[in-house]
């Protein structure tokens, strides 16, 4: 019998070493986290099946749940210890709630204007035009890595020993904010797409975090898991930015221009394709991508609509990953996709789309 999150939370004491301080003078991000180990949660039988299909870190590594937003709809009751830690809702919580509400309205509307079945032949001129306009709207962010400027100061950003795990969906503007930060920090992550109608990854987020809200980040290197895009960005820069701060306007601009790609792309990367396979591939695909590259965006949308987990290699301008891309493809061009399940290695976005929808559909497209 599965217990509620609140009853489980009361069984585990808080661990101050894994909580951020709410002190404004602290160097740590402002969002407090609860110390309930995710590994201690009791999952449903379906969740256990999902976990068997995903490579999570060793049981010896403990994940900690982020403090649930007080006003989120449809969430489980948090532990009294957790909910009493911070009575004031952060601005990023309000942003996340606004994102969820607006996307719920936009989803059916944007589907009316979308290009229809994503597996069918597309108007590529229109696809590239709308994706390029989306890139223009977010041009200052998600295009370049800080690695180059840091190297000039004899400071380098290095990947953590274990890849972080990001649960998100491509059309979400607040998920985009996190991906832009990852590009600036030149960090690779495992992406678990969570489109509307998701049959695998949204259940994982509910099981691990207690509510269905995105983005949701797990960092097995520190044992931290958290919601709220603003808090995630600040955490990433604090933990991996070597003293740097997010580029000017990254956090503030999302409410103003972060919605433009969602609208211009008519909701691509938002809904699960109805012919997507229900079972995940044995091994994760690998995508070399630049967040603000118009062709990479189109491929990430497809991966989201198919709910395919993948390793995201961020290759912004000046990225250290460029050498890895050159070794793999012989070119600096993105996107470039590797599928270890079939041995396919493809560099043209049109060919990648055709391959994905043919290989990972329930029927021949």
pLDDT by residue for the chain (365 residues), tens digit each? Answer: 433 333 333 333 333 333 333 333 444 443 333 333 333 333 333 334 434 444 443 333 333 333 333 323 232 322 222 222 232 234 444 444 555 556 556 665 556 565 678 999 899 999 999 999 999 999 888 888 887 554 444 444 567 899 999 999 999 999 999 999 999 999 999 999 999 999 899 999 999 999 999 999 999 999 999 999 999 999 999 999 988 888 888 999 888 899 899 889 988 999 999 999 999 999 999 999 999 999 999 999 999 999 999 999 999 999 999 999 999 999 999 999 999 999 999 999 999 999 999 999 996 54
Spatial contact of 114 and 171, defined as CB atoms under 8 Å apart: no
Spatial contact of 167 and 312, defined as CB atoms under 8 Å apart: no
- pLDDT of 310: 98
Q: How many Å apart are CA 337 and CA 303, to the nearest integer?
A: 11
β-bridge mates for residue 165, sequence order: 190, 218
Closest CA to 106 of 167, 172, 169, 170: 172
Q: How many Å apart are CA 167 and CA 157, to the nearest integer?
A: 23
Q: How many Å apart are CA 70 and CA 161, to the nearest integer?
A: 34
- pLDDT of 101: 57
Q: How many Å apart are CA 108 and CA 333, to the nearest integer?
A: 34
- pLDDT of 102: 61
Looking at residue 42, the DSSP 8-state letter turns out to be P
- pLDDT of 97: 52
Helix (H) or strand (E) holding 217: strand 216-219
Q: What pTM does this model have?
A: 0.73
- pLDDT of 247: 86
Q: How many Å apart are CA 28 and CA 224, to the nearest integer?
A: 13
Q: What is the CB neighbour count within 10 angstroms for residue 196?
A: 17
């Amino acid at each position: 019998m599965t217990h509620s999150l609140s009853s489980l939370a009361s069984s585990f004491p808080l661990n101050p070493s894994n909580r951020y301080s709410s002190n404004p003078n602290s160097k740590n991000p402002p969002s407090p986290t609860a110390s309930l180990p995710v590994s201690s949660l009791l999952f449903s039988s379906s969740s256990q099946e999902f976990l068997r299909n995903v490579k999570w870190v060793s049981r010896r590594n403990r994940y900690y749940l982020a403090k649930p937003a007080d006003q989120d709809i449809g969430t489980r009751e948090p532990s009294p210890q957790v909910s009493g830690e911070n009575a004031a809702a952060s601005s990023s919580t309000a942003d996340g709630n606004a994102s969820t509400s607006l996307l719920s309205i936009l989803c059916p509307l944007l589907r009316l204007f979308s290009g229809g079945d994503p597996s069918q032949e597309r108007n590529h001129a229109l696809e590239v035009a709308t994706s390029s306009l989306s890139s223009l709207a977010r041009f200052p962010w998600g295009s370049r890595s800080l690695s180059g400027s840091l190297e000039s100061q004899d400071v380098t950003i290095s990947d953590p020993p274990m890849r972080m795990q990001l649960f998100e969906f491509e059309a979400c503007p607040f998920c985009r904010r996190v991906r832009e930060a990852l590009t600036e920090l030149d960090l690779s992550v495992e992406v678990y797409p969570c489109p509307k109608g998701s049959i695998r990854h949204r259940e994982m987020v509910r099981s691990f975090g207690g509510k269905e809200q995105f983005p949701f980040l797990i960092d097995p290197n520190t044992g931290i898991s958290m919601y709220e895009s603003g808090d995630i960005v600040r955490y990433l820069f604090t933990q991996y930015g070597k003293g740097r701060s997010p580029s000017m306007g990254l956090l503030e601009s999302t409410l103003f221009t972060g919605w433009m790609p969602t609208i211009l792309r008519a909701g691509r990367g938002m809904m699960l394709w109805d012919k997507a396979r229900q079972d995940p591939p044995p091994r994760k695909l690998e995508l070399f991508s630049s967040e603000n590259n118009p062709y990479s965006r189109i491929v990430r949308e497809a991966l989201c609509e198919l709910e395919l987990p993948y390793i995201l290699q961020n290759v912004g301008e000046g990225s250290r990953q460029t050498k890895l891309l050159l070794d793999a493809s012989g070119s600096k061009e993105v996107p470039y996709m590797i599928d270890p399940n079939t041995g396919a290695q493809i560099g043209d976005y049109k060919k990648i789309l055709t391959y994905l929808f043919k290989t990972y559909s329930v029927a021949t497209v």
